[in-house]
Amino acid sequence: MTATHTPPRSAGFGPAGPGLAGTTRRVTRPAIRWDLAIALATTVLFAVAAVWPQLVATHNPFAMDLPASLQPPSPAHWFGTDEAGRDLYSRVVYGTRESLGIGIGAALVSLSLAIVLGTLAALGGRVASAVVGWLLEVAFSFPALLLSLLLIAVLGPSALTQILAVGIGTAPGYARMVRGQILAAKDSAYVEAAVALGHSRGRILRRHILPNALRPLVAVFALSIGQSIVWASSLSFLGLGVAPPSPEWGALLDAGRAFITEAGWLTVIPGLVIVLLALTATTLGRHLQRFLEKGETA
Amino acid sequence: MTVVDHTPRVARDDAANGPHPRISIRDLSVSFATSAGDRRIIEGVSFDLHPGRCVAIVGESGSGKSVTARTIVGLSGRGARVEAGALELHGRDIRSLPERAWRRIRGREIGFILQDALVSLDPLRPVGAEVGETLRLHGWRDRSARRRKIAELLEAVGVPSPERRARQRSGELSGGLRQRALIASALALDPDVVIADEPTTALDVTVQAQVLQLLEASKRRGASIILISHDLSVVAQLADHVLVMRHGRVVEQGPAEQVFASPQDPYTRALIAAVPSEATRGRRLSPTQDDASPSETASGETDAAREREVVLEARGLVKRFRAADGSETLAVDEVSFALHRGETLGVVGESGSGKSTTGRLALALEPADAGEVSLLGEPWSAAPERKRRALRSRIAVVSQDPLSSFDPRWNVERILADALPRGIRAPAARAARIGELLAQVGLPDEVLARFPLRLSGGQRQRVSIARALASEPDVIVLDEAVSALDVTIQAQVLDLLVDLQARLGLGYLFISHDLGVIAHLSHRVLVMKDGRVVEEGTPDEIFHQPREPYTRELIASIPALPRGAAASREA
């Protein structure tokens, strides 16, 4: 019974000796983390584009210039032009606010719902836990896209509907996660230690269970922004999102679809931008997660 | 022929010692490359291993004993750099063997018994297949012959109904059976050399005794054994030659009798002195720097303690657990006890004896199915938790694994502050009380800002004890509180517990599987088996005149240090 307890942590870097507790653990990492640096740089770019699009855009995103329609990328039009001669680069820049807004909004909706439902399912007493738990199982087994389509069918396509649809569609998965986290915290030795100290249920919930269960969600939030943007874009691409003149990225994809053979950049470039944003959010989320895990030890 | 110290400076003639050593190591060093430069884990290890002999490497965690053992089978790990004046197996240089050659050596020439059978055995494969794997890899092609051999091997290591057991998976076996299966697979090809890395650490004392007998038997058949252990009394059972390692260096080595009877190095002496047993009652286990006067410990006070107030009393406790398949286990069966102020009640038993559940019932963390516990004469287990909360400050707990009992987001200061009674409001008063608690458990103020993960095992346990003291309780339930600690650290914590009891009049319900610790510390002892108290008495009665056969078996299984060692401790 001498095994010392080492909770699972993200693996350290550099070679670690076999079973040498505390000997080769504290290995410093290389000074620059390139993935993080790039992710931070693109975050700044996206933030600027969302807040002050006029600073980075080169053209008016809505100005039509029919003679210059469907031009491939060039020094004058970095991402080319669409069928109405609008500058695609500027449209992508102006679409950032809406796309990012939908992504963040949906992630907020999704996680708020998840926290409420997950907490209820974990701690709501016998009946509430059973009912919410059952609802979550049903919702989880229901494809998120179908759920979203259902909502749009009821509410009609708009940016707000998109936020709700994506948020509600992805909530059950996160709710299950929250439930698991809370249950794990509830059964932990430190909660039992708090009970043994004579602390009240409310105090234990506030001080131990919720903070420990919900902290991992900070990282999950960043991850889910990326995921939500992809989801929202696919809804727009299906024509179920924001209406066409809007430069929202999914809508750009949808608009470009008609010209996919003669003007492929109209779909490829917005697609790549979506991927870039999703990657950025994911990278930040991962680093945040690692940082938080370290934070509790350092 | 004896195994002698072959340091290069006393280069003796091997031929004079009869057969050549099976393993010969000179000046072995292992370092690991880290980004902060090379880190030397072991340095200058030399010894010879002769046929039918056992060399034991003793040391505490981080001493490099396991790395030494792994290096001998070419498993020192990734990034390891091995240097040696000589590293020979049967006179063959094994310093730079390719992996392919190692695979032929492992299993056939060197059997390796790992510490934890639960993680060393594949949970998805029948145990028989695990044992048979070694045979198959080394040329036992015929399936039915293999099956017979597996049954034979399992039988040889004392696995009952081996044919049936061979078909079970490791999760279905008890810890003892798993460890025996692992030993069977290590011994499958009758290797000349067996390396056993903490082979009995996770085992109950009676099972440990059986495993040691197995190793003894294979030694008698001519196998050479390298035994790695932190437990001096285990080593004393088997070893002919002992190396004591600390911080990667051999601080002392020599014939076992000599090392135990007249240890030369101060560390070896401290290590031997730190082993708690019946003989150490009333003595400090750890060396004290400041004063020579030993504090009053468990001994002598028994009668006085008896007359004192009963602080915790259990009457007819019963606890059943229902398994997933509906079957019931009786974890605690009609357990009664009374704990007096300032007294240590030792609860000893093997795994599954119900001792930990008894502790949880005493803490009212688990509802009892029958019977009741009273705390300071007031109803305790029967009261609703709302009522209990007011009394919770009177009883505290220290568990085996302090780390998991701390909120991972909190540093030591926050942990202790959280445990302070609500009466202390003023920040200055709280800080003063926290400082006092740290001083009581002998921790410096610097630890306040640290997180438990950054503390050593001993420091964590001290923090855990400080937290338990925060509300000035009357009773502390200590569940295997020192079991995860190295022996010298364990000695310090045991000394601390004895001091605190003398100063604060605490009642300890001290739960442990370790009979030595129980004997050292307890005023009275409960022996538990299968949920029942089989015997109760003073340590003197339990350890010298046990009435029950089970107690006798338990006492007989305790590996003891040789008599000489006990004598040398007085010096």
pLDDT digits (tens, 9 = 90+) for A8-55: 333 333 333 333 333 344 444 555 678 888 999 999 999 999 999 888
β pairing state of B92-93 and B86-89: antiparallel
CA distances from B30 to A13, B244, B292 (A): 20, 17, 40
Positive or negative CA dihedral for B102, B107, B112, B114? positive
- Contact flag A20-B454 (C-beta cutoff 8 Å): no
CA distances from B191 to B51, B106, B133, B150, B460 (A): 11, 9, 15, 16, 42
Residue of A6, A9, A10, A20 best to disrupt the B interface, most CBs of B under 10 A: A20
Counting one residue from chain A and one from chain B, the pairs whose CB atoms sit within 8 A come to: 139
Predicted local distance difference test score (pLDDT) of residue B10: 35
Contacts of B80 (CB under 8 A, 6+ apart): A15, A17, B30, B31, B32, B41, B67, B71
ipTM above 0.95, yes or no: no
- Contact flag B76-A200 (C-beta cutoff 8 Å): no
Predicted local distance difference test score (pLDDT) of residue A29: 52
**Helix (H) or strand (E) segment spanning residue B348:** strand B344-349
Q: What gap in Å lies between CA B159 and CA B151, rounded to an integer?
A: 9
CA distances from B566 to A220, B111, B275, B569 (A): 59, 33, 10, 5
- Contact flag A212-B393 (C-beta cutoff 8 Å): no
Average of per-residue pLDDT across A76-104? 89
Residue A19 forms contact with B (CB below 8 Å): yes
Q: What angle do CA B391, B392, B394 make, to 5 degrees?
A: 75
Residue B389 forms contact with A (CB below 8 Å): yes
Q: What gap in Å lies between CA B181 and CA B155, rounded to an integer?
A: 10
Single out the residue of B170, B168, B177, B167 nearest to residue B211, CA to CA.
B177
Candidate from B34, B201, B365 with C-beta closest to A196: B365
Q: For chain B, first and last CA: distance in Å?
A: 31
User: How many CA atoms within 13 Å lie on the side-chain side of B91?
Assistant: 4
Q: What gap in Å lies between CA B199 and CA A256, rounded to an integer?
A: 68
- Contact flag A207-B77 (C-beta cutoff 8 Å): no
Positive or negative CA dihedral for A235, A241, A244, A245? negative
Predicted local distance difference test score (pLDDT) of residue B118: 59
Single out the residue of B48, B49, B68 nearest to residue B57, CA to CA.
B68
Interface of B with A in 420-459 (CB under 8 A): 451, 453-454, 456-457
Lookup result for tokens 């903070």: A211
Write the pLDDT tens digit of every residue in A211-245: 888 888 888 888 888 888 888 888 888 878 777 77
Q: What gap in Å lies between CA B312 and CA A126, rounded to an integer?
A: 34
Average of per-residue pLDDT across A169-187? 89
Candidate from A1, A189, A298 with C-beta closest to B484: A1
Interface of A with B in 110-169 (CB under 8 A): none
Three-state SS annotation for B137-205: HCCCCCHHHHHHHHHHHHHHCCCCCHHHHHCCEHHHCCHHHHHHHHHHHHHCCCCCEEEEECCCCCCCH
- Contact flag B484-A188 (C-beta cutoff 8 Å): no
Predicted local distance difference test score (pLDDT) of residue B209: 86
Span B309-570: which CATH code? Answer: 3.40.50.300
Task: Please count the other Cβ atoms lying within 10 Å of the Cβ belonging to residue A182.
Answer: 23
- Contact flag A198-B393 (C-beta cutoff 8 Å): yes
β pairing state of B241-246 and B80-83: unpaired
What is B1-109+191-273's CATH topology?
Rossmann fold (3.40.50)
Residue B480 forms contact with A (CB below 8 Å): yes
Structure tokens at B224: 């050479």
Specify the domain boundaries for CATH 3.40.50.300 within chain B. 1-109+191-273, 309-570
**Helix (H) or strand (E) segment spanning residue B254:** strand B249-255
Residue B416 forms contact with A (CB below 8 Å): no
Average of per-residue pLDDT across A55-79? 86
Predicted local distance difference test score (pLDDT) of residue B375: 92
Q: What gap in Å lies between CA A194 and CA B365, rounded to an integer?
A: 11
A190, A207 Cβ separation under 8 angstroms? no
- Contact flag A197-B67 (C-beta cutoff 8 Å): no
pTM over cut 0.90 = no
Amino acid at B409: R
Exposure letters B323-357 (e unless 16+ CB within 10 A, then b)? eeeeeeeebbbebebbbbbbbbbbbbbbebbbbbb
- Sorted by where each starts, the structural domains of chain A and their CATH numbers stand as 34-64+77-295 (1.10.3720.10)
Residue A8 forms contact with B (CB below 8 Å): no
Exposure letters B517-541 (e unless 16+ CB within 10 A, then b)? bbbbbbbbbbbbbbbbbbbbbebee
User: Residue A272: pLDDT band by 50, 70, 90 thresholds?
Assistant: very high
Residue A75 forms contact with B (CB below 8 Å): no
Q: What gap in Å lies between CA A131 and CA A176, rounded to an integer?
A: 13
Residue B68 forms contact with A (CB below 8 Å): no
pLDDT, tens digit only, all 571 positions of chain B: 444 444 443 334 443 455 688 999 999 999 888 777 788 888 989 999 999 999 999 988 888 888 888 888 888 777 788 888 888 888 888 887 888 888 888 888 888 887 765 567 777 888 888 888 888 887 788 888 888 888 888 887 778 888 888 888 877 777 778 888 888 888 888 888 999 988 887 778 888 888 888 889 889 988 999 999 988 888 888 999 999 999 989 999 999 999 998 999 999 998 888 888 888 888 888 876 444 444 444 444 445 545 578 999 999 999 998 877 777 888 899 999 999 999 999 999 888 888 989 999 999 998 999 999 999 988 898 888 888 888 999 999 998 888 899 998 899 999 999 999 888 888 899 999 999 999 989 899 999 999 988 888 889 999 999 999 999 999 999 998 888 888 888 899 999 999 999 999 999 999 998 888 999 999 999 999 989 999 999 998 998 899 999 999 888 888 877 755 544 444 4
Helix H segments across chain A?
34-51, 53-56, 88-123, 125-141, 144-155, 159-186, 189-196, 201-204, 210-214, 216-237, 249-257, 265-295
